[in-house]
Amino acid sequence: MHAMFKVLPLTLAVGLAACNGGKPKTDTPAPADGAAPAASTDSTAAAAPAPSTGAGCGTLAADEVCVLIGSGAPKTGGIAHLGKDIENGTQLAINEINAKNDLTVGGKKVKLGMVGEDDAGDPRQGTIAAQKIVDSGAVGVIGHLNSGVSIPTNAIYARAGMVQISPASTNPDYTLKGNKTPKGSVSSYRVVATDAKQGPALAHYMIENGAKSVAVLDDATQYGKGLADQVAQTLTDGGAKVSTREATTDKTTDFKSVLTKIKATNPEFVFWGGMDDTAATLAKQMRELGMTATLVGADGACTDKFIELSGSAGKGVICSQAGMPLSQMAKGAEYSANYEKSFPGQKVQIYSPFSYDATYTLVEAMKLADSTDREAIAAVMPKVQYTGLIGPIAFDEKGDIKGGSISLFKVGDKLEVLKVVK
């Protein structure tokens, strides 16, 4: 479609504010009680300010307009390395698209910029970060990492008519209970498989490898508990016994009390529903207590950072990722090289290939709509078909990627691929 271009208030406001020194709005205070502020449905009000963080579009040529893409992820706290990886993937895609200098929407040349906000992996801070992204005038958002953040922030993005594409959130409720935009379009999308596939894949692995008794432990987040529930149910259905079902928190540093209780049940496996920083602590304390059970974790714990943090205690851990392993992506090696060149001293963690492709997917929707209007982009998202680094990308009616895969790994000096479940 090549509709005649109209200069929308959103596009003008974003271009002028992000690229010509505009200041953030100050008339919408952050909520004191952690509740998300209501996102304005007025396009002029939603579009006015420059981002409070992020690089914007830089210098514009005379014939260019600036269009911002949001990035929401934890950039502080114990999983900041994962959040930065997500932001890097988004920025890398933006850099590549801008370098080609051929993105035209509605007859106007577009230069992309990113507005990145730190959600700290926390639902309360996440809603504040989401409102900042909305107020920046961004046309869509790549994020968030944690399901417990993606789910509440989706209400904010949906009210603003925006598409949210998560490169990491796996809790099925993110899309099953996703919000619609004011014009009735799906707002929540993801480019990874869900825990409805990841949990059973891990449970089946344990059963196939002799699990008669499994202790199931989670960090009480929507991600961790939801995943652990999937694992526990599949184990029970498969004839294995869930010997212990316990919950801690995503800030726990001392697992010894709960591990002592688990050790008494003598399980073959201990499943952890949580992230890599806490998984590393758990692995170390299991070994300190002389436990011989194999620790099993999912995508939040399946990172190079886990290997670094856990040391020798991490050897033999089984974990999964909700997508193809980077080593098996057709252009994975090329992507890694470009990533390390663009971000010196940093290596791909896990989610940046997915945020990279999510960014390209959002741009494909922009091109298909031939518009930078938020609702126009949301309306065409179900029609997007794009083949990227992670493979073919298309979405079902809920917003889930079609044909998502689960990769299983064993931890050694690096992550060693065991199998890919499609």
* C-alpha torsion 319→320→324→325, nearest 10: -20
CATH superfamily name and code, 195-321: Response regulator (3.40.50.2300)
Q: What is the mean pLDDT of residues 329-350?
A: 97
Please give the pLDDT value at position 56: 85
Examine the pLDDT at 204 and tell me if it is beyond 80.
yes
Tokens of 257: 């009390």
Residue 112, beta-bridge partner list: 67
Tokens of 259: 């591990």
Q: How far apart are CA 121 and CA 351, in angstroms?
A: 15
Give φ, ψ of 52 to 5 degrees. -80, -20
Residue with the larger pLDDT of the pair 133 and 54: 133
Q: HSE of 129 in the Cβ direction (CA atoms, 13 Å)?
A: 31
Q: Do domains 9-192+330-393 and 195-321 have the same CATH topology?
A: yes
Predicted confidence band of residue 414 (pLDDT cuts 50, 70, 90): very high
Q: How far apart are CA 359 and CA 90, in angstroms?
A: 6
Distances from the Cα of 376 to the Cα of 14, 135, 174, 369, 382, angstroms: 17, 18, 22, 6, 12
Task: Single out the residue of 209, 157, 120, 213 nearest to residue 37, CA to CA.
Answer: 157
Domain ranges of the chain: 9-192+330-393, 195-321
Give Cβ neighbours of residue 87 (< 8 Å, ≥ 6 apart): 71, 73, 75, 114, 116, 355
Examine the pLDDT at 4 and tell me if it is beyond 70.
no
Q: How far apart are CA 175 and CA 276, in angstroms?
A: 24
Predicted confidence band of residue 58 (pLDDT cuts 50, 70, 90): very high
Residue range 11-55, pLDDT digits in tens: 333 333 334 333 333 333 333 333 333 333 333 333 333 333 335
| Secondary structure letter of residue 328 according to DSSP | G
Q: How far apart are CA 167 and CA 397, in angstroms?
A: 18
Residue with the larger pLDDT of the pair 333 and 19: 333
Predicted confidence band of residue 420 (pLDDT cuts 50, 70, 90): very high
Is the pTM of the predicted complex or chain greater than 0.85?
yes
CATH code for the structural domain at 9-192+330-393: 3.40.50.2300
Q: Is 105 left (phi over 0), alpha (psi -120 to 50) or beta?
A: beta
Tokens of 337: 């090289």
Examine the pLDDT at 150 and tell me if it is beyond 80.
yes
Tell me what the pLDDT averaged over the chain comes to.
89
Residue range 222-274, pLDDT digits in tens: 999 999 999 999 999 999 999 999 999 999 999 999 999 999 999 999 999 99
Please give the pLDDT value at position 149: 98
Give Cβ neighbours of residue 89 (< 8 Å, ≥ 6 apart): 142, 167, 339, 351, 352, 353, 354, 355, 356, 358, 359
Proportion of the chain above pLDDT 70, given as a percent: 87
Cβ neighbourhood burial of 395 (10 Å; 0-12, 13-18, 19+): buried
Is residue 139 within 8 Å of residue 113, measured between CB atoms? Answer: no
Examine the pLDDT at 153 and tell me if it is beyond 70.
yes
SS3 118: strand
